[in-house]
Structure 1
Amino acid sequence: MRILIATDAWKPQINGVVRSLESVAKALGEFGAEIEFLTPQGFASVPLPTYGEIRLALASPRGVSKRLDGPSIDHIHIATEGPVGFATRYYCLRSKRSFTTSYHTRFPEYISARARIPESITYALLRRFHNAGSGVMVSTASIANDLQRRGFQRLMYWSRGVDHSQFTPDKASVIDLPRPIFLYAGRLAPEKNVESFLALDLPGSKVVVGDGPSRRALQAAYPQAHFYGSQTSDALAVHYASADVFVFPSRTDTFGMVLLEALACGLPVAALPVPGPLDVIGASGAGVLDNDLRAACLAALEIPREMARAHALTFTWANSAKQFLDNILLAKSSGSRFMTPSPGIPG
């Protein structure tokens, strides 16, 4: 099967969406699927307002049509709701081609945090975008249940995996900082709630890996923290394996790829009891979820690293790829079927 994935999130961006798409594409090859990407590359672009590091492709329906009216494609999957995604959606509707979508990012909450636009307006736009397809893939039961309540239809589960050979406790190195070391890794932006971690009264050291529009302000406000900027996956694995607790303060992530990466390196997690951590960590014992984030951080110090690693091993890219492919086959055979969310989702 030849599958085209249309995405606005692509290299040189460093985020969970890009890593997920690259990893699942590689794993899909083991199932005999051929993956092609339609990305912002090759289109003119402009900086995203308030986040200049990300550029928006000036992708028109005509420009997208020229790229899609070529070799035979068996299925089109739209991964993001940006210009490339909207232009591909328009092409599919006009040419009466079925397509699936995926919901990676809680844009209504993100936009509300930045521009004070009511979440209801953005959710209405996203609902119209996704319900036009034959299925929308979501990564967790919590997000599926929330979207169902908001009127999203034909929801399908698509979990994530982690490269257990790249993210491993064997990458541990000696870091010349007072211990314990509490680590945050991810984008530095208002919706990530990083300041709630940096403001905590914790022993040892706080380390921040990542970049984004909030970095300068955070560094100025919390000079005692150690900011290391964006890192390659290999360097990031060293940070995970060498820290004592991974702190995930976000309230708006749909999954949190960094959670799996940290766990795979044997790093216990401290997080809030919200979608993402609730689904990934749950009752596994690999982390502590508490509305008191400081209490969660201190309690996570008691978790054996072996327990964190063992939980991460239940998430594989092979399982993720199979779910993705099964969703496509179901959508093509019965696009009107509605998949009701269930209490859990297999790794």
Structure 2
Amino acid sequence: MKLLIASDAWHPQVNGVVRSLEQMVRRAPEHGFETTLLSAADFPSLPMPGYPEIRLAYAARARVAERWRVEQPTHVHIATEGPVGYAARRHCLSHGLPFTTSYHTRFPEYLAARLPVPEAWSYAYLRRFHGAARGTMVSTASLQGELEARGFTHLMRWTRGVDTERFRPAAPGTPPPAELADLPRPLFLYVGRLAVEKNIAAFLKLDLPGTKVVVGDGPDRGRLQGLAPRARFLGTRTGAALAAIYAACDVFVFPSLTDTFGIVLLEAMACGLPVAAFPVPGPNDVIGGTRVGVLDHDLRAAALTALDLSRAECRGEALRRGWDVSARQFFGNIIEAHGGERRVRDAA
């Protein structure tokens, strides 16, 4: 079986969509699939205004059709609703090909935070976009309920995971990374994109002891550094370098009110780092009902209380959330959405 994944988000972007898709690509052979990516890198593109790391592709019909003829996918998954995703959707509809989609990002809220575009307009577009799919994958029960209330149909659950080999507590006696070694403790950490929709200012404005540490980059970095000149901004980190920072800090603070999941929550937990967050969808689904984090509308109180949580229990909870669980759901959904058939038909 050959799965084509169409996504506007792919390397060199660093975000939850890319992390999720690269893990599915890695595990595809275990589930009987060969994968190919259709991304912005396959077409001429321009940087998104105000967000240059995101490329907006010109996915011409002829080039999309040619790619289909070359790859001949048996299954199609459309991961994003941008130009590449729309082009793949258009090709599937014009040739009668079934496909699945996934809903990763609250674009209506993100767009409304930047431009005077009513959320209802954006949701109408997204409802129509996903409505043509055999199934739309969502990460949590909360998100599924919200979208169903907005008229979305054929929703399927696809949780996210964490690489517990890469993200793990530091070995006893391991010194912290040099960039953290001399900072006053405790260390309160944020990891993620530095953008207005992430609500990072709510974290930076907290009256907390020790040091606030920020890992990531994005269009809001300059403004945020001006808000908190004493915070330590480290830029983007990945892999072992990021895991070492997680493991060396004391509490992971997640101020977002709009994330649909938050893979960074699982990464922090896997490194033994307890979480402080608002009691909203995303954090509620990931850490609600556990003892690995504190959810409170008073984020300062949550952060201070989380200092006393068990790091071993955080690690134990993360060990139950590996990417293998996520992959079983993802590929199972694709087969189910195609009527349980292992091969649907050759693409046109």
The TM tier, using the shorter chain, reads: over 0.9
Decide which moves more: 37-46 or 92-101: 37-46
- The question of whether the paired residues in 1 share the 8 Å contact of 2:6 and 2:84 is answered with yes
Equivalent position to 2:305, from 299, 306, 311: 299
Partner of 1:95: 95
Partner of 2:65: 65
Partner of 1:128: 128
Q: Deviations over 1:101-145 (max 9, x none)?
A: 000000011001111311111000000000111000000000000
Partner of 1:344: none
Partner of 1:256: 262
SS in structure 2 opposite 1:41?
A: helix
Partner of 1:152: 152
Matches within 5 A, 1:257-336: 257-333=263-339
SS in structure 2 opposite 1:231?
A: coil
SS in structure 1 opposite 2:170?
A: helix
SS in structure 2 opposite 1:159?
A: coil
Partner of 2:48: 48
Amino acid at match of 2:329: Q
Query: Structure 2: where are the runs of 5+ without partners?
Result: 342-348
Q: Aligned-pair distance for 1:61? A: 2.5
Distance 1:256 1:71 in 2: 33
Partner of 1:218: 224
Distance 2:228 2:23 in 1: 35
Q: Aligned-pair distance for 1:53? A: 2.2
- The question of whether the paired residues in 2 share the 8 Å contact of 1:268 and 1:301 is answered with yes
SS in structure 2 opposite 1:295?
A: helix
SS in structure 2 opposite 1:228?
A: strand
Amino acid at match of 2:217: D
Decide which moves more: 181-190 or 111-120: 111-120
Q: Deviations over 1:217-261 (max 9, x none)?
A: 111221010000011222111110000000000011010010111
Q: Aligned-pair distance for 1:52? A: 1.8
Amino acid at match of 1:275: P
- The question of whether the paired residues in 1 share the 8 Å contact of 2:204 and 2:227 is answered with no
- The question of whether the paired residues in 1 share the 8 Å contact of 2:205 and 2:227 is answered with no
Q: Deviations over 1:263-283 (max 9, x none)?
A: 000000000111110001011
Query: Structure 1: where are the runs of 5+ without partners?
Result: 336-347
- The question of whether the paired residues in 2 share the 8 Å contact of 1:183 and 1:207 is answered with yes
SS in structure 2 opposite 1:52?
A: strand
Distance 1:290 1:332 in 2: 42
Distance 2:197 2:228 in 1: 18
- The question of whether the paired residues in 2 share the 8 Å contact of 1:168 and 1:241 is answered with yes
Q: Aligned-pair distance for 1:70? A: 2.3
Q: Aligned pair in 2 of structure 1 residues 106, 24: CA closer, same or farther (>3 Å)?
A: same
Amino acid at match of 1:158: W
TM-score (norm 2): 0.94
State the Cα RMSD in Å: 1.3
- The question of whether the paired residues in 2 share the 8 Å contact of 1:28 and 1:322 is answered with no
Distance 2:323 2:175 in 1: 27
Decide which moves more: 312-321 or 139-148: 312-321
Distance 1:198 1:71 in 2: 48
Distance 1:118 1:105 in 2: 16
Q: Deviations over 1:174-216 (max 9, x none)?
A: 2221110000000000000000000000000000000000001
Q: Aligned-pair distance for 1:44? A: 1.0
SS in structure 1 opposite 2:269?
A: helix
Matches within 5 A, 1:29-40: 29-40=29-40
Residue 178 (1) aligns with residue 184 (2): yes
Q: Aligned-pair distance for 1:42? A: 2.7
TM-score (norm 1): 0.94
Distance 2:206 2:165 in 1: 33
Amino acid at match of 1:248: F
Decide which moves more: 241-250 or 47-56: 47-56
Distance 1:199 1:255 in 2: 24
- The question of whether the paired residues in 2 share the 8 Å contact of 1:61 and 1:88 is answered with no
Equivalenced residue count is 335
- The question of whether the paired residues in 2 share the 8 Å contact of 1:181 and 1:245 is answered with yes
Q: Aligned-pair distance for 1:334? A: 7.3
> How many percent identity over aligned positions?
58
Decide which moves more: 30-39 or 199-208: 30-39
Decide which moves more: 67-76 or 18-27: 67-76
Partner of 1:20: 20
Distance 1:99 1:265 in 2: 36
